[in-house]
Amino acid sequence: MTSNSAAVPAADPSQAALWNGRSGQAWVDTQALLDALFRPIAERLIEAVPAGAPLRVLDVGCGTGAVALAIAQRLAADGQVTGVDISAPMIAAAEARAACEGIAATFVCADAQRHAFAPSMFDRIVSRFGVMFFDDPAAAFANLRRAAAVGASLHAIVWRGPAENPFMTVVERSAAALLPPLPPRLADAPGPFGLADAARTRVLMGAAGWTAIAVTPLDVECVLPLADLPTYFTRIGPLGGIWADLDEETRRRVAAAVRAGFAPYVRGDRVHFPAACWEIGARAD
What is the reported pLDDT for 2?
Answer: 29
CA 54/CA 183 separation, integer angstroms: 44
Question: pLDDT tens-digit profile of 54-73?
Answer: 999 999 999 999 999 999 99
Question: pLDDT tens-digit profile of 100-142?
Answer: 999 999 999 999 999 999 999 999 999 999 999 999 999 999 9
Architecture of the domain whose range is 5-221+274-284: 3-Layer(aba) Sandwich (3.40)
192-229 core/surface letters (b: 16 or more CB in 10 A; e: else): bbbbbbbebbbebbeebebeebebeebebebebeeebb
Question: pLDDT tens-digit profile of 239-269?
Answer: 998 999 999 999 999 999 999 999 999 999 9
Residue 1: pLDDT band (50, 70, 90) is very low
- For the entire predicted model, the pTM comes to 0.94
What is the reported pLDDT for 10?
Answer: 58
Q: What percent of the chain has pLDDT over 90?
A: 92
In sequence order, what are the beta bridge partners of 221?
274
The CA-atom distances, in angstroms, between 87 and each of 64, 90, 232 are: 9, 5, 19
Domain boundaries, the chain: 5-221+274-284
Residue of 119, 102, 19, 131 whose CA lies nearest to 64 = 19
What is the reported pLDDT for 145?
Answer: 98
What is the reported pLDDT for 182?
Answer: 81
